[in-house]
Structure 1
Amino acid sequence: MGGLWRNIKWLSASVWILFFIAPYLRWGDRQAILFDIPNRQFHILNTTILPQDFWMLSLLLLFFALLLAVSTALAGRIYCGYFCFQTVWTDVFTWLDEKLEGTPPKRRKLDKAKLDFAKFRIKFTKHLIWLLISVLTGISFVAWFYDAFDLWSDIFSLQAGSTAYGTIALFTVGTYVLAGYMREQACFWLCPYARIQGVMVDNTTLVPTYDFKRGEPRGRIVKGQSEDERTTGDCVDCKQCIAVCPTGVDIRHGQQEGCITCGLCIDACDLVMEKLDRPKGLIRYESLDVLEGGENRPLLKRPRVWVYGLIMSAALAGIGYGLSMLDALELKVIHARQPLFVLLSNGSIQNKYTLKVLNKMTKDVPVKITATGPEGLILVDADGITAKHGKVTPRTVFVRVPKSNLKGENTPIIFQVEGEEDGEMFVGTRKSVFIGPKY
């Protein structure tokens, strides 16, 4: 059955195409998006995120958690109905059922029929396609963590490793069973979201709602009866809303745990109303407040929208700040504590530092370290450093300054690291302090 909300469901489900094709997009000589867990590197286009930057991942998870909460507060389980992978894969498997086996009555008839070549061919074709989709789902998931082209090569050459094969097998079985057999039962028995949604919705939440004032009392159509003679509501008790509901909910009994707010009941009811030449919207997206004649509160008058919005904005701002501050080369400077300084025989003051160079590039890079500060500053043991890619390279260096050039006990000093990759120069700086004797 088609309809506005059915089409919207297919349109929203199409975002999952990126799940399958994104791992094959390239950026230079590597995969555009690659979560390289063995090497502890996340590559997103030209940005490489290392474990030191994973605090941004926490903010990203916070943002999506609040996005789920605010979408539920505004429109119920809209994620379940339009974006959830379980819903999307179940829709695809159900669509295959209809194309290969026909409508539900035909499918039931086929299941009861004796096994012959025609039935075997249909069933074999269906389950083969189910299996191929399940295997492709598993491979696509692993490809986000394993170079996609290398993955295919290693799979067929049996070089992929037990972790890759195990993950593919797990997703294959999971997809085949959950989308092929359990389907909406997974929403009832496995997903915790249905249980916690009750604390997220309120009387202002837009959800598929049956207009009981207009629909009741229900009654079948009486042949030859005019609209003026009718004593029943607009609901003709056709039960089409129940038939199309993925979880079998009767929306006329109000909001229930099984409702995933997909809107298919709205399409079914609107089609019946159109055939009966009655106004559409007997079942529609509406809040309980409006349905009962209350005020339709705008979004900006809902406190939770402001609270969620502020927290989400702060999370996005933090992520933006973190990305803007990412450097291909990062430098950390640790001043030695014991001793804080050493007086040399020539009258100079010497400080000891441990420099840690973090190389976020894809290759090992020779780097040059310099320091600026008091006049006469000399940097010792800072030559010949090669920063390993994706790792922290430590080096102990010494800084010497003539005592006469020091103006106080603590003097600012700036370290700088420079490296070059593919003709592009990268620089990282770090402020520190040079410590001398008290005056």
Structure 2
Amino acid sequence: MTQRIPARIIETVDAGKPIRLTPAQSGGPIHTRSFSGRFRNWRLVGGGLLFLLFFGTAWLDWDGRQAVLWDLGKQQFHIFGATFWPQDFILLSALLIIAAFGLFFITVLAGRVWCGYACPQSTWTWVFMWAEKITEGDRHQRIKLDAAPWSAGKLLRRTTKHALWLAVSLVTALAFVGYFTPVRELVRDLFTLQLDAATGFWVFFFTAATYVNAGWLREKVCLHMCPYSRFQSVMFDRDTLIVSYDAARGESRGARKIGSDPRAQGLGDCIDCTVCVQVCPTGIDIRDGLQLDCISCGACVDACDSVMDKMGYARGLIRYTSERALQGGRTRYLRPRLVGYAVAMVVMIGAFVWALQVRPLISLDVTKDRTLFRENAAGQIENAYRLKVINKTQQTRQYAVSLAAGPFELHGQRRLSLEPGEILDLPVSVALVDETARVTARTLRFEVVDLADPTSRVGTESTFVAPVR
């Protein structure tokens, strides 16, 4: 019979000092403490700009329509004065690549600072934490409320908190869906209970997703669901600016009276108040070193600086710094990898702007009729085609359809007038007028030219088929 060895939890370490688990280590809910400071102010400015951009842009008008609207039904994507089509998706891919390189650049320069200041997950989580604070109180009050038995007061506070969470989630969902469905019609249909089933589903889906992600999952999204948290550490080097605890200055930790000389007591500047842990949205102790959970929000920097001010010590016990600087060296900002990302970004942004400028505002697709060929009344070999012409501008345009030089003659409508965004399916035929040029198959080229701007033109090749002579 196998005998089990009983396990016991070790409660103390050296000199009887108790083990202190961080909120992240304990596995319980993370209740953050209120704080203030310059990095919090910067985050508020960044979050405010993000909210203004996200919620405000959907309500802007441009030339009688919504300024930014991804109309999936019509396959038209309006961004202020420009309209993009599925054929322009290569530009979207390029934009995503530029954004990725921008993220790489920021990561090499300042670590995971994007997560702490501009990531929507973090920004909405801070908003939900604010709603939690105004309904349930500060950190110690929320901890006490969690431990308290259910009562009318607790039920009222929890109900109010979740009502605020749901209100923010609904507004977020309406703004997001409003970029795909005209937002004014969306809000009107919601309040008149006339939402169609598909739109109603997406409003419900994004409301639920926001509520769950920012209200319940919070830091778990950053730790377990976001791929960036997994690969960002491999992009760090010894000169990357990261939130760091200066152990050489802070150790040994210990409590002391204000005004006392810590060196005389064999102590460093850290008074072991754990305020840096209490304000951390992911519940870690930055004094344990760089961790995957850290989102570089600077909350611990603000909290520690406020404690240093009260103690009369210099700020910066916890600060944004590099590994090289912590070891007594100087941070190198101009280094090959960082410069390489910057150069790549500049080149790609330049290429993207050039591509936007030269992209054709006419689209032409050519489809050959299934019939290989036929003979017309004049005894000429003839092929049939269907031209799909799209006016990708915001004005009514006049176009001319033609064939590039060759032994062919175009039969059909040659002058077109298309409304903004109109798609015209045009049947035409092409006859071989020079019998001496007859071969089994040869290439011909259709061209469409904007009559008001001859430099705006597009051409597409197809195949002409003739019987063997």
TM-score tier (shorter): 0.7 to 0.9
Q: Which moved more, 1:202-211 or 1:227-236?
A: 227-236
* C-alpha displacement of 1:235: 1.1
Q: Using a 3 Å threshold, how does the CA distance of structure 1 residues 220 and 359 change in structure 2: closer, same or farther?
A: same
Equivalent of 1:359, from 379, 391, 395?
391
| Distance in 1 (alpha carbons) for counterparts of 2:372 and 2:261 | 101
| Distance in 2 (alpha carbons) for counterparts of 1:171 and 1:37 | 18
Instruction: Say whether residues 1:316 and 2:349 are aligned partners.
Output: yes
For 1:391, the equivalent position in structure 2 comes to 423
Instruction: Say whether residues 1:205 and 2:240 are aligned partners.
Output: yes
Q: Which structure 2 residues correspond to residues 282-431 of structure 1 after superposition, within 5 A?
A: 282-299=317-334, 301-302=335-336, 304-331=337-364, 355-361=387-393, 367-369=398-400, 371=402, 380-383=411-414, 385=416, 387=418, 389=421, 391=423, 393-398=425-430, 415-418=447-450, 428-430=457-459
Instruction: Tell me if structure 2 keeps the 8 A contact 1:355–1:397.
Output: no
* C-alpha displacement of 1:130: 1.1
For 2:178, the equivalent position in structure 1 comes to 143
Instruction: Say whether residues 1:11 and 2:45 are aligned partners.
Output: yes
Instruction: Say whether residues 1:190 and 2:225 are aligned partners.
Output: yes
Q: Using a 3 Å threshold, how does the CA distance of structure 1 residues 104 and 329 change in structure 2: closer, same or farther?
A: same
| Distance in 2 (alpha carbons) for counterparts of 1:374 and 1:384 | 18
Q: Using a 3 Å threshold, how does the CA distance of structure 1 residues 430 and 192 change in structure 2: closer, same or farther?
A: closer
Q: Using a 3 Å threshold, how does the CA distance of structure 1 residues 380 and 113 change in structure 2: closer, same or farther?
A: same
Instruction: Tell me if structure 1 keeps the 8 A contact 2:82–2:393.
Output: no
Partner deviation per Cα, 1:197-239 (whole Å, 9 max, x = no partner):
2211121110011111111122221577446634211111111
Q: Which moved more, 1:179-188 or 1:71-80?
A: 179-188
| Distance in 2 (alpha carbons) for counterparts of 1:375 and 1:77 | 60
Q: Which structure 2 residues correspond to residues 162-201 of structure 1 after superposition, within 5 A?
A: 162-201=197-236
**Identity fraction in percent:** 36
Q: Is there any run of 5+ residues in structure 2 with no aligned partner, and where?
A: 1-34, 436-441, 465-469
| Distance in 1 (alpha carbons) for counterparts of 2:417 and 2:322 | 63
| Distance in 2 (alpha carbons) for counterparts of 1:139 and 1:416 | 41
Q: Using a 3 Å threshold, how does the CA distance of structure 1 residues 324 and 231 change in structure 2: closer, same or farther?
A: same
Q: Which moved more, 1:4-13 or 1:173-182?
A: 173-182
Q: Using a 3 Å threshold, how does the CA distance of structure 1 residues 67 and 344 change in structure 2: closer, same or farther?
A: same
| TM-score, normalization by structure 2 | 0.78
Instruction: Tell me if structure 1 keeps the 8 A contact 2:382–2:429.
Output: no
| Distance in 2 (alpha carbons) for counterparts of 1:116 and 1:250 | 34
Q: Which moved more, 1:108-117 or 1:208-217?
A: 108-117
Q: Using a 3 Å threshold, how does the CA distance of structure 1 residues 366 and 290 change in structure 2: closer, same or farther?
A: closer
Equivalent of 1:259, from 294, 308, 311?
294
Which residue identity lines up with residue 59 of structure 1 in the other structure? A
Instruction: Say whether residues 1:274 and 2:309 are aligned partners.
Output: yes
Partner deviation per Cα, 1:140-168 (whole Å, 9 max, x = no partner):
11111111112123334444333321221
| Distance in 2 (alpha carbons) for counterparts of 1:323 and 1:71 | 25
Which residue identity lines up with residue 350 of structure 2 in the other structure? A
Instruction: Tell me if structure 2 keeps the 8 A contact 1:349–1:402.
Output: no
* C-alpha displacement of 1:434: 13
* C-alpha displacement of 1:284: 0.7
| Distance in 2 (alpha carbons) for counterparts of 1:19 and 1:413 | 45
* C-alpha displacement of 1:256: 0.5
* C-alpha displacement of 1:46: 1.2
Equivalent of 2:101, from 27, 41, 66?
66
* C-alpha displacement of 1:429: 4.7
Equivalent of 1:250, from 279, 285, 293?
285
Instruction: Tell me if structure 2 keeps the 8 A contact 1:379–1:400.
Output: no
Matched residue of 1:229: which SS?
Answer: helix
| Distance in 1 (alpha carbons) for counterparts of 2:397 and 2:325 | 67
Equivalent of 1:43, from 65, 69, 78?
78
Superposed CA RMSD in Å reads 3.9
Instruction: Tell me if structure 1 keeps the 8 A contact 2:98–2:349.
Output: yes
Q: Which structure 2 residues correspond to residues 118-129 of structure 1 after superposition, within 5 A?
A: 118-129=153-164
